[in-house]
Amino acid sequence: MGALCRSACRRFVIAAALAALSLPIPAGSPAAAAGPDDVVDAQPACRAPEERLPLEVPRTAAPPVPHPAPESPGDYRHRLTPSPYGWVRLPGWCVWVEPVTAGEDAAHRRDRLWLAAVEAALTQWSRAGVGVRRTHDPEAAQVRVWRRRPPLRKGPDGRMRASHGRAQLSLVEARSQRRRWLEPRVEVWIGQGQGARGLQATALHELGHAFGLWGHSDDPADAMAAVPGPIPVVELSERDRATLRWLQAQPSRIGEPLETPARAGGRP
């Protein structure tokens, strides 16, 4: 997977990781039953811009919004982090998921288990109000979901550590037909070394980051908890949904033409 920016440019990158628990697959698990048709796509087809350019962010850039957000009962908005261009949210996200191939051996069964977990997580976020548009073209996607473990990352103690999942955000300048706008590009890595519920919990968490929740809840009952509880969370909590609703109403320059000021609600 190529880098989104040249090594010489300074990029705005946020990364988040979750180590989910591995549990046995239960009968009737949502991860086993979900499929691509569970994600409703009522929005226009995704199209890749003609050009994407590295976005230079000044080292002194500060988010143009109050941060942290004031605390509010019932959600964890105050634990989210905006980008230098405002809150990362779009009215609709183009999503590409690494496809699986047909086969009946153990490797293909693991691939299908992984895909079912990702589809179930996408359905959860779609039903919560995220505009999810599916694409078969990875270049047209703002969110790309890869079937692999994320690269090792150095921990606070200086040791390299592995994780089951990670989401990484870059902001780029997209151009098409003389239009220029700020576009988020999110790479999501989800490894396969877990049971069905662990996979779905990891996918639910990392896709929450991808759709703009760049931060963590302090409640292990939430899908976006910083530290998972003993039972993987495979459904969004009301706090997750309330935080998403708050985020979607915030002003941002993400997705807006570069020549115009940001507008609340994510629509021109």
CA 52, CA 71: separation in Å to the nearest integer? Answer: 36
Helix (H) or strand (E) holding 233: none
**What is the DSSP secondary structure assignment for residue 78, as one 8-state letter?**
G
Work out the pLDDT band at 43, boundaries 50, 70, 90.
low
Handedness of CA 24, 27, 29, 33 (dihedral sign): positive
Range scoring the smallest mean pLDDT among 50-59, 97-106, 205-214: 50-59
Work out the pLDDT band at 37, boundaries 50, 70, 90.
very low
Closest CA to 125 of 195, 261, 223: 223
Please give the pLDDT value at position 2: 38
∠ Cα 235 94 116 (to 5°)? 40
Which residue has better confidence, 17 or 53?
53
Rg of the chain on CA atoms, in Å: 18
CATH architecture of 17-151+160-260: 3-Layer(aba) Sandwich (3.40)
State the greatest distance between any 2 C-alpha atoms of the chain, in Å, as a whole number. 54
Which residue has better confidence, 137 or 155?
137
Which residue has better confidence, 194 or 59?
194
Mean pLDDT across the chain, nearest whole number?
80
Work out the pLDDT band at 120, boundaries 50, 70, 90.
very high
CA 230, CA 212: separation in Å to the nearest integer? Answer: 26
Q: Read off the pLDDT of each residue in 151-179 and give the average, rounded to a whole number.
A: 85
Q: Give residue limits of the domains in the chain.
A: 17-151+160-260
Please give the pLDDT value at position 183: 94
Work out the pLDDT band at 110, boundaries 50, 70, 90.
very high
State whether residue 118 is helix, strand or coil. Answer: helix
Q: Read off the pLDDT of each residue in 22-50 and give the average, rounded to a whole number.
A: 49
**What percentage of the chain has pLDDT greater than the value 90?**
57
- CB-facing half-sphere around the CA of 116: CA atoms within 13 A: 18
Please give the pLDDT value at position 50: 93
Say yes or no to pLDDT of 29 above 50.
no
Please name every residue paired with 174 in a beta bridge, in sequence order, or none if there are none.
52, 181
List of residues 6+ apart from 106 with CB closer than 8 A: none
Look up tokens 């270049």; give the residue. 139
Say yes or no to pLDDT of 141 above 50.
yes
Tell me the pLDDT tens digit for each residue of 213-253. Answer: 999 999 999 999 998 888 999 999 999 999 999 999 998 88
CB 17 within 8 A of CB 153: yes
Please give the pLDDT value at position 57: 60
Say yes or no to pLDDT of 268 above 50.
no
Say yes or no to pLDDT of 179 above 50.
yes
CB 140 within 8 A of CB 96: yes
Say yes or no to pLDDT of 26 above 90.
no
CB atoms within 10 A of CB 37: 9
Helix (H) or strand (E) holding 237: none
